[in-house]
Amino acid sequence: MNSKRTFFIAPIFLAIILACVVPGLPAASTPLPTLTVDAGAMETMVAGTVSAAIAQTQQSMPSPAPASVVVVTATFTSTPVSTPTSVPTATPTPEPTSPSQSVLTKQADGSILFTDEYAYYRIKLPAGWLAMRINEQEYLDAFSLEQAANTHVQQALLGVQNEDPNVLRLFAIDPSRIQNEFVTDMRFVLDEEMDISLNTDEELQAIAGKIPASATVFRFEVTSVKMGTSANGVDFGFIEARSSFTDALGVDVGLYQKQVFFNVPVGTQSIIFTTVADLKDALLPAFDAMLNTVEIILEDQD
């Protein structure tokens, strides 16, 4: 492992922290003044920003775009992470030519199978999450969904519009879990310059050591660094951290973040899960179960 690559993740982590925060909030150490918000004006402002963002994104996307999500009935042998629900059955669509080089497939139990054909792995996201690739049609479609009527969901969507889709491979939010203005999310970040060693926790500790100093908005404090192996034999590195912010009502809100690292044939894949601390116990079991569905679909690359 090239030691120069060990810290490549730090700028990405900083970008994630900046994108995760509630817009307009100061650093956790600075009290937020009481705000009086005109709800109508806020909705008008966000709506205008959304329209501009959609127009900008449409211009930069290839045309015509393929179907955003392939809805099929599929069999998956990993342990389900949520209560099954019925979905329409459709004829499987041939492998598309996609700008993201990936496929989203809705499963019969409501979960979403994400196959990253560039990074050579697949994973099944829990039911209820809104998953999107920011250079695909489903990202634009998300602004028209009923859940996007919520201002905080719109802000979460707008917060990733300028990300590099070759790095942010998948963005997922839980629109049913909005608390203290914060939208729970997961970010799937690919680092092609990194090949993390998981034989020891030395490199994980080095990454964790950079986290507090890298924050300019929220100062995350690392609480644990661990390693483990999934039921499918995939080696993982885990970094847990916590922070806090003061919401518009003056309430101190704790944040919980879990970063997961694993190697793929083209580099190191990380999944960053961020939620408010009060929702950790409710959401973390499904996130951890999701990790057991990770499968490498190409063991090596010529």
Asked if residue 95 has pLDDT above 80, the reply is no
Question: 4: number of CA atoms within 13 Å, CB side?
Answer: 1
Quote the CA–CA distance of 163 and 169 in Å, as a whole number.
Answer: 10
Q: What is the predicted pLDDT for the residue at 212?
A: 81
- Band of pLDDT at residue 60, cut at 50, 70 and 90: low
Mean pLDDT within 248-274: 95
Asked if residue 142 has pLDDT above 70, the reply is yes
pTM reported for the whole predicted model: 0.72
Structural domains in the chain, CATH included, are: 3-20+129-292 (3.40.1000)
Quote the CA–CA distance of 94 and 81 in Å, as a whole number.
Answer: 27
Q: Label residue 181 left, alpha or beta by phi (over 0 means left) and psi (-120 to 50 means alpha).
A: left
Q: Do 99 and 61 meet the contact criterion of CB atoms below 8 Å apart?
A: yes
**Which position has the higher pLDDT, 48 or 165?**
165
Q: Provide the mean pLDDT of the chain.
A: 77
Asked if residue 294 has pLDDT above 80, the reply is yes
Q: What is the predicted pLDDT for the residue at 247?
A: 85
Q: Which helix (H) or strand (E) holds 173?
A: strand 168-179
Quote the CA–CA distance of 277 and 221 in Å, as a whole number.
Answer: 13
- Band of pLDDT at residue 160, cut at 50, 70 and 90: very high
Selection from 239, 287, 229, 289 nearest residue 263 by Cα: 229
Residue 191, beta-bridge partner list: 268
